[in-house]
Amino acid sequence: MLLTDTIRRYWRDQSFARSALHVHLAPGELAWLEKRGDQPVANTQGRLSLSTMDGHWQAALAALHVLLDEDDHKHRLPLAISVASRWWPVLMAPWSDALLREPQAGQYLKTQMATQYGEPARSWHVTADDAAYGGPRLVSGIDAALLQGLREAAREHGRRCLSIEPLLSAAWQHMGKAGMQALALLEPGRLLLAASSRGRIYAIHMQPCSGTWLRELPQAWQRWTLRRPELARIAQVAVLNMSSETIAAALLPALGAQFRMLDAPGLPGWQTGVVHAEPVAACA
């Protein structure tokens, strides 16, 4: 095992480790960075502000084309794309026997998305995890036109697409390394809370947020634990800041669970903060 780990670290650290351009699409900005293996490449991070008032994804998709146009004269790295929760939301769908067969499973999942996000969700591209029989399913949905647009952008610029995934999926990979069981994902105008057990997400909460994170985050967590008492056993919540604001970890409140800023330099759009600070009393 030690030899295997040593070999893995050696190959990961070499210059010929697989490189990729990681891109994040969100309302208001496009962010990107280059990674070699699991490590971000220095001085490759970038952000492009988007002057759109309605938050529609078309501006971000157009910005992606601009980015790839400018990068085409370089080595055409494969793409790994993440999409903000605004455009790729998630939910937990309760178990139903309809999940046992198609097309009933797909129809059931789209009905669940439409119930929470409106009738347009019936035309979305909807996927779910493979949770065990009888358990709730983690479901995500994206406008089929956006998904197709991302694939076409990669193809038009001669790029392989390694992944296209919701931000929660990309963020969870970083959260797993922190060894915590809950994640608070801060995005512009939106707060997502997720809890896991044995490596699988089993509870999700999403809500709009005005951006006053120091007040709204602990209040949202407290309300959620009142509705889901089993969450009260979670001792620490990882906080991943993908908003446009820098939040000092020293100001994060302590309210039952301890909130800890998550360091994710390999995630495009991540906002840095003071990671090793002690939490203080909850703000009024």
Both 57 and 97 in one domain: the answer is: no
CATH number at residue 38: 3.30.420.40
Q: Strand 253-255 vs strand 257-261: parallel, antiparallel, or unpaired? A: antiparallel
Q: How far apart are CA 270 and CA 262, in angstroms?
A: 10
- Establish if 215 belongs to a structural domain: yes
Sign of the CA dihedral with 123 first, then 128, 134, and 135 last: negative
- Establish if 30 belongs to a structural domain: yes
Among the ranges given (72-76, 119-123, 188-192, 206-210), the one the predictor scored with the smallest mean pLDDT? 72-76
Band of the pLDDT at 74, cuts 50, 70, 90? low
Number of domains in the chain: 3
Both 123 and 159 in one domain: the answer is: no
Both 157 and 27 in one domain: the answer is: yes
Which residue range(s) make up the domain with 37?
Answer: 19-86+143-165
- Please tell me whether residue 27 adopts helix, strand or coil conformation: coil
Both 129 and 216 in one domain: the answer is: no
Q: Strand 161-166 vs strand 79-83: parallel, antiparallel, or unpaired? A: parallel
- Please tell me whether residue 224 adopts helix, strand or coil conformation: helix
- Establish if 5 belongs to a structural domain: no
Element housing 53 (H / E):
none
Residue count (the chain): 284
Both 239 and 253 in one domain: the answer is: yes
Both 24 and 50 in one domain: the answer is: yes
- Establish if 236 belongs to a structural domain: yes
pLDDT beyond 50 at 121: yes
Beta strands, E only, the chain: 19-26, 29-36, 39-40, 46-49, 79-83, 90-93, 125-128, 137-142, 161-166, 182-187, 190-197, 200-208, 236-241, 253-255, 257-261, 280-281
pLDDT beyond 80 at 75: no
- Establish if 276 belongs to a structural domain: yes
Residue 96 pLDDT? 93
Tens-digit pLDDT profile for residues 53-71: 567 899 999 999 999 988 7
Both 126 and 248 in one domain: the answer is: no
Both 237 and 113 in one domain: the answer is: no
According to the per-residue pLDDT averaged within each range, which of 66-70, 87-91, 168-172, 193-197 is highest?
87-91
pLDDT beyond 80 at 278: no
